[in-house]
Structures are given as structure tokens and as C-alpha cells.
């Protein structure tokens, strides 16, 4: 089966080079991998002591960041290497301050895995949440490199638990220990005979809780807000925006809106702006304007949404009308905000928990969205209660990083 797996990887690599000619994201994926080994050889010397973290994309990187920062603090003589699979992770965090080298992970061929590990020679390796690249895991095992999964989560529909998933189950033998998010994941691994597993929780709670201790000030957001009730819309998609635009245009409340779309391509931003009848300003066009005069602020840039949440009174988190579903709720939750989301959230434990606890409201229709916003805008007590549920939920689930570090 590994032979077939390697054939598929080789074919995929060839196809991606062809698709890259017509797709800008795939082009980043392909072009970004061309100089990985040269970059690593420049930044990692044979005498260096190194620790490797792999993240699929931005969300997994943010999830593992508390552990990366703790490792960096406790092992300052080691160089940290961070790899990404996806451009949406690498392109945003390629200039991070925690790693000595941040690169794309070369495609999972045996030769790539051997070359990568020979250059990086990690003393220890961490995979964050998921992504089980068979050749890399096999080479890590051959080289006797302790390998850990952190904030892992397993579901019974994964290939490990199917009758035909034997070669994937074998890959799990490469892990020295599994730190998983919940009891369900632990039980699934135990069914495979794995006893080297502990429920540590989700390190994302540690990351978002630490946000409160940082400087989250953005003077231009403060100027725009102007002491007015503000709804912050994070990571919205067109299906979210259709409902939101209707409410923005028709509501008569004294309320302002900050919208940070998931897709900030010019044509998407233009469509969004043109649909809004209230006075609207773009982040890219705010210079020289009196921001307090505007009703809607569209953030056509990346990297500042977390800080923007600190100015919100209510949050709407997008993605809940798509597949697999809603985006990150924990960042607005840590600021004690009541949250509104779309209907697709069942794949995300924190969203399910917050909906069940009452801190988060799930809506499916225009009327439900309007009713949710009206209740939150008109009733300070409801807004405060739901926000308190969200912030308490984050605080109650902290501690995964300490559990992992103590075990290591």
C-alpha cells in the first residue's frame, strides 16, 4: 500500500505543477517549495540542535503556538523549524519570530523526507492536530526521533479506523505519545491498542487566553468606533454577507459594523462594499478620512482581526454556511463577546459547546439573524450574560500546554 501511496504522491506533484499555471494559490504551493532545501541548508547547520513543528495551515500553527513559545523559552539553545503544508498558513506566518526557519513542507516522497530530516536533524518532532505524512513519519521512526502529536483529534470516520486503513494505522506507530483534545479521541486510539495517549485538551485555549495580556490597541479602530455599539464580523463568506448586508442596510440602531472578510480579493471586496448603502470605508482607503463619520469599516487586509475583536460588543463569525463550517470562535470568546454564527458548526467542539451553553447563537435565516442582533443590541443584560459564558468557557479550558510540557 505504501508503494501505491508513493505513486499517488508523485502523480499529485506533477498535476499540481500543471494546475499552478492557472491557479494563483496552487502556484504559491508549487513555487514556495522550490527553494526549501536551500533555505534550510542556509539556516540550519550540522552542529545546531533543532526541534521541528509541523502545521497544516494557519489554524494549526496558532493552535501549536503556545507549545512552540514554551519550548523556545525552556530550550533557548535549540533552533525551532516550522513547516506548513498550505499557502494560507505559510504566507501569513512565514516571518514569525519564534522559528529560526519557516518553510513549506516538501511533498511527502521518501527522498524528500530523507533529505529534509538529514538537513534539519531534529532531536524531537511535533505534529499539530493532524496531517499524517507516511514517509516523514516512517523516516522519523527509522532515525529514532521522538515524535509527538499535540492537540490531536480523532474521529471514527477516519481511515485509521476503517478495515482498509492498515498502512495508516501503522504510521501511528511512529508517535512516541499522543496528546489529544478529548476522551473520544483517546478511546479510539485505545481501540487500536495505543496506551501512549493522554487527554491534554486543546492548546488553542492557552493561546487565546494569552491574547488578553497583549497590547490589542488599534487607534484607527478606536476612532471609528467612537464609543458606539459595534458588531465585528470575522472571516465572513458571501453567504454570510448576504444576510449581514440586509441587516446593515435596514436596521435603525445606533450601531457600527467592522467586517473582516475571509477573502480579501479586490472583486470580492468591491461586491461587498457596493451592496452596502450605509457610509462605508475600506482599510486600504482610510488615510486622511474622519473614520468616526462612517458606519461600516471593511478590513481588506489580514493579521489584525484578533485585535479588532477587543473593540467589539457583539461578534459574528463567518463560515457557518459552508463546509466544513464556522471559523474560529475562541478569539472573540476570550474577549467576552456574545457570538452569532451560521448553522454548520457540528464539526467543531468549541462551537457546539458554546451553542449548548448559550454563549453563542446559531442562525439559519435572515429573520433569525435579525432577531439575534436585535436582542443583543437592545438588551445589555443578555449581551453581558452571553459574553460572560464565552469568556468563562475559555478560562475553564486553559492548561493544555502545561500538561504537555510536564509530560515531556
What positions carry a catalytic annotation? 60
**Angle at alpha carbon of residue 220, lines to 214 and 226, rounded to 5°:** 100
Place of cell 501549536: 64
Distance CA 355, CA 343 (A): 11
Distance CA 261, CA 235 (A): 5
The reply to whether omega before 88 is within 30° of 0 (cis) is no
Distance CA 181, CA 152 (A): 6
Distance CA 408, CA 406 (A): 5
Please check whether residue 338 is in contact with residue 376, taking contact to mean a CB–CB distance below 8 angstroms. yes
C-alpha cell at 35: 527553494
Distance CA 198, CA 401 (A): 13
By the 10 Å C-beta count (0-12 exposed, 13-18 middle, 19+ buried), 408 is classed as middle
Please check whether residue 338 is in contact with residue 230, taking contact to mean a CB–CB distance below 8 angstroms. no
Closest CA to 51 of 29, 25, 73: 73
By the 10 Å C-beta count (0-12 exposed, 13-18 middle, 19+ buried), 380 is classed as exposed
C-alpha cell at 184: 473520544
Cα–Cα distances in angstroms (integers) from residue 192 to residues 56, 158, 166, 181, in the given order: 24, 13, 11, 17
* DSSP-based three-state secondary structure for 342: coil
Closest CA to 337 of 371, 395, 385: 385
Place of cell 435603525: 252
Distance CA 65, CA 400 (A): 12
Report the run of H or E that residue 112 belongs to, with start and end: helix 110-120
Amino acid at each position: 500500500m505504501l508503494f501505491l501511496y508513493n505513486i499517488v504522491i508523485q502523480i499529485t506533484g506533477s498535476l499540481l505543477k500543471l494546475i499552478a499555471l492557472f491557479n494563483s494559490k496552487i502556484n504559491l504551493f508549487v513555487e514556495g517549495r522550490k527553494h526549501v532545501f536551500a533555505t534550510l541548508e542556509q539556516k540550519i547547520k550540522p552542529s545546531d540542535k533543532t526541534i521541528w513543528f509541523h502545521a497544516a495551515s494557519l489554524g494549526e500553527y496558532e493552535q501549536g503556538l503556545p507549545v512552540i513559545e514554551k519550548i523556545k523559552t525552556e530550550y533557548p539553545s535549540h533552533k525551532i523549524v516550522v513547516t506548513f503544508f498550505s499557502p494560507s498558513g505559510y504566507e501569513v506566518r512565514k516571518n514569525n519570530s519564534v522559528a529560526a526557519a519557516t518553510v513549506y513542507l516538501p511533498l511527502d516522497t521518501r527522498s524528500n523526507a530523507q533529505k529534509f530530516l538529514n538537513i534539519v536533524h531534529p532531536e524531537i518532532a511535533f505534529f499539530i492536530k493532524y496531517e499524517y505524512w507516511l514517509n516523514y513519519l516512517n523516516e522519523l521512526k527509522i532515525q529514532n526521533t521522538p515524535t509527538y502529536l499535540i492537540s490531536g483529534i480523532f474521529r471514527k470516520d477516519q481511515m485509521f479506523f476503517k478495515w482498509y486503513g492498515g498502512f495508516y494505522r501503522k504510521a501511528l506507530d511512529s508517535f512516541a505519545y499522543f496528546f489529544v483534545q478529548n476522551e473520544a479521541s483517546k478511546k479510539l486510539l485505545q481501540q487500536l491498542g495505543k496506551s501512549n495517549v493522554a487527554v491534554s485538551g486543546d492548546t488553542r485555549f492557552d493561546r487565546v487566553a494569552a491574547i488578553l495580556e497583549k497590547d490589542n490597541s488599534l487607534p484607527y479602530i478606536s476612532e471609528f468606533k467612537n464609543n458606539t455599539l459595534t458588531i465585528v464580523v470575522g472571516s465572513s463568506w458571501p453567504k454570510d454577507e448576504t444576510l449581514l448586508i440586509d441587516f446593515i442596510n435596514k436596521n435603525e440602531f445606533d450601531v457600527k459594523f467592522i467586517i473582516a472578510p475571509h477573502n480579501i480579493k479586490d472583486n470580492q471586496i468591491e461586491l461587498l462594499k457596493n451592496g452596502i448603502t450605509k457610509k462605508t470605508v475600506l482599510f486600504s482607503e482610510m488615510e486622511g478620512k474622519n473614520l468616526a463619520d462612517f458606519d461600516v469599516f471593511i478590513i481588506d487586509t489580514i493579521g489584525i482581526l484578533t485585535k479588532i475583536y477587543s473593540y467589539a460588543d457583539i461578534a459574528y463569525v463567518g463560515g457557518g454556511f459552508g463546509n466544513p463550517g464556522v471559523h474560529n470562535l475562541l478569539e472573540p470568546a476570550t474577549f467576552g463577546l456574545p457570538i452569532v454564527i451560521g448553522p454548520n458548526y457540528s464539526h467543531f467542539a468549541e462551537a457546539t459547546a458554546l451553542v449548548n451553553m448559550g454563549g453563542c447563537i446559531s442562525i439559519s435565516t435572515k429573520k433569525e439573524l435579525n432577531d439575534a442582533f436585535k436582542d443583543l443590541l437592545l438588551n445589555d443584560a443578555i449581551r453581558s450574560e452571553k459574553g460572560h459564558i464565552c469568556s468563562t468557557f475559555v478560562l475553564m479550558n486553559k492548561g493544555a500546554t502545561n500538561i504537555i510540557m510536564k509530560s515531556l
